[in-house]
Amino acid sequence: MTTPEPFGTRLRHAMDTRGALCAGIDPHAALLREWGLNDDLAGLERFTRTVVEALADRVAVLKPQSAFFERFGSRGLAVLERAVADARAAGALVLLDAKRGDIGSTMAAYAATYLDPASPLFSDAVTVSPYLGYGSLRPALDAAAASGAGVFVLALTSNPEGAEVQGARAADGRSLAQVMLDHLAAENAGASPLGSYGAVVGATLGHTEADLAINGPLLAPGIGAQGATPADLPALFGEQARNVVPSVSRGILRAGPSPAGLRETAERLTDEIRTALA
């Protein structure tokens, strides 16, 4: 059996050749209305297909938000399955934004859903929540290693409420966010050119005292609608800037429904990010 190429290796290549932008696919009701679409299955299909066809052949990462598909039940999940397959076929890496977190056999079932190549929702990476304890993520971490996929762990998120948990202190004085970052650094030790286990660090934070040197990717949501800009990234990420994957959703999607508008906006942001992180 051929050993799959690690996600970190594939991500580094994609970032070096396509730029670091991660484009979100968030078909929530307000955006569907802005596009002149109904908030129904047909609107979901049209929206999703347009974004994938416009961007999957040029951006490094596409990030569908699973909840906006799940709200339509099994038919919505079928749209998500097709989007994942079509985006990967066009060369984009797919990061499924599901933020799953549980224990034992339930976490193993989530891992099988997103990180097993036999699953119709198999993606290049998935977001997970570690706040049932980092060890609860082991089924997902192991499944990712076996399939060449990646995992992004919530560490320092862009929402203000996150600090209530992430800023709490462990017995040794470290913040819980730092505990998670240190676990990820251990997972990625020795990986080259980039580890496959990433952290979510909000671009809206402005600054952090946390040590972000995890030898893995740093997904940075919050650019655009949440107020951050590419120019904010160097001050926050410092020497880790090369490993940052800035994520933009509404800031790109509001340029639709025109495919040309989506492409032009994504290309502009890619250039702005490249300049900021150079």
Q: Which pLDDT band holds residue 1 (cuts at 50, 70, 90)?
A: low
Residue 276 belongs to a domain: no
Tally of domains within the chain: 1
* Amino acid 2: pLDDT: 76
User: What per-residue string of b and e applies to 206-216 under the rule 16 or more CB within 10 Å gives b?
Assistant: eebebebebbb
Q: Identity (one letter) of the amino acid at 249?
A: S
Place of tokens 């880790």: 240
99 is catalytic: yes
Quickly list H helices, the chain.
Answer: 7-18, 29-34, 41-55, 67-70, 73-89, 104-115, 138-147, 163-166, 176-188, 233-237, 250-253, 259-277
Cis peptide bond N-terminal to 64, omega within 30: no
Q: How confident is the model at residue 158 (pLDDT cuts 50, 70, 90)?
A: confident
**pLDDT tens digits, one per residue of 237-276:** 999 999 999 999 999 999 999 999 999 999 999 999 999 9
**Which is the catalytic residue, given 18, 82, 99, 242?**
99
Residue 16 lies in a domain: yes
Backbone φ and ψ for 93, nearest 5 degrees, come out as -85, 135
**Of 139, 145, 141, whose CA–CA distance to 103 is shortest?**
139
The 10s digit of each residue's pLDDT in 184-218 is 999 999 999 999 999 999 999 888 999 999 999 99
DSSP-assigned states of every residue in 44-59: HHHHHHHHHHHHTTT-
Q: What CATH number does the domain containing 246 carry?
A: 3.20.20.70
Asked whether residue 21 is assigned to any structural domain, the reply reads yes
Q: Taking 70 as the threshold, does the pLDDT of residue 101 lie above it?
A: yes
CA atoms within 13 A on the CB side of 143: 25
In a domain, residue 1? The reply is no
Q: Percentage of the chain surpassing pLDDT 70?
A: 100
Structural domain span for residue 144: 7-271
The SS3 of residue 271 is helix
Tell me the pLDDT tens digit for each residue of 126-153: 999 999 999 999 999 999 999 999 999 9
Q: Is residue 135 part of a domain?
A: yes
Instruction: Tell me if 63 is assigned to some domain.
Output: yes
Q: Is the pTM of this model over 0.95?
A: yes
In a domain, 277, yes or no: no
For position 34, what pLDDT does the model report?
A: 97
Q: Across all residues in the chain, what is the average pLDDT?
A: 96
* 27 part of a folded domain: yes
